[in-house]
Amino acid sequence: MYETGFDLASIIMSYWFALLVLFILVKTVQNAYLEYKVEREARVGLDRPRTMAYVEITAPEGDELGKRFPLRRENILGSGSGCDIRLPFRSVSGEHASIFQKNHKAFIAALTARKGVFVNGEKITKARELSENDRIRLGKIELTYKAVKEG
């Protein structure tokens, strides 16, 4: 079938080359799509929520009292340096909770079961919808959820 090992090797190499070209093409299309998606979201303003919302530190007393954090579509709250809303307190986990918007409503979910997330004094075990003036407790820190409808 193949006269020499060289013939077989050249056929195998041509298939590997074709697979490599196909792989590069797929990755290029994926990257172009991701760039398009980011540009479109920035241009259309898809990251802007329909409700202007924020959380405000309401306890404990100290320098941080009254500090406000505007909310985006998705927010990670915690003491970690990569969090969207950084709460540098010992009683707050690295990534403690998430506040996100879905169907024009805000929800909170616990990301760590050990320290827990409390809304109006009740420990949450799954995502829970937030309402105006809800009190959120992460460790010893209390935040108040505020929402102002656009329009």
List the pLDDT tens digit at each of the 151 positions of the chain: 556 767 878 888 889 999 999 999 999 998 888 888 777 766 655 555 455 788 999 887 667 788 999 998 899 999 999 999 999 888 899 999 999 988 888 999 999 767 889 999 999 989 999 999 999 999 889 999 998 765 5
The residue type of 112 is: T
Residue 73, burial from CB neighbour count under 10 angstroms (0-12, 13-18, 19+): middle
Structure tokens at 128: 């829970």
Using CA atoms, how far apart are residues 35 and 96, in angstroms rounded to an integer?
A: 30
Length of the chain: 151
Q: Indicate the SS3 state at residue 12.
A: helix
Over the stretch 30-56, which tens digit does the pLDDT of each residue have? Answer: 888 888 877 776 665 555 545 578 899
pLDDT score, position 47: 52
- pLDDT number for residue 142: 94
> Which two tokens mark 34?
């991701």
For 143, other C-beta atoms within 10 Å of its C-beta total 25
pLDDT at residue 113, rounded to an integer = 65
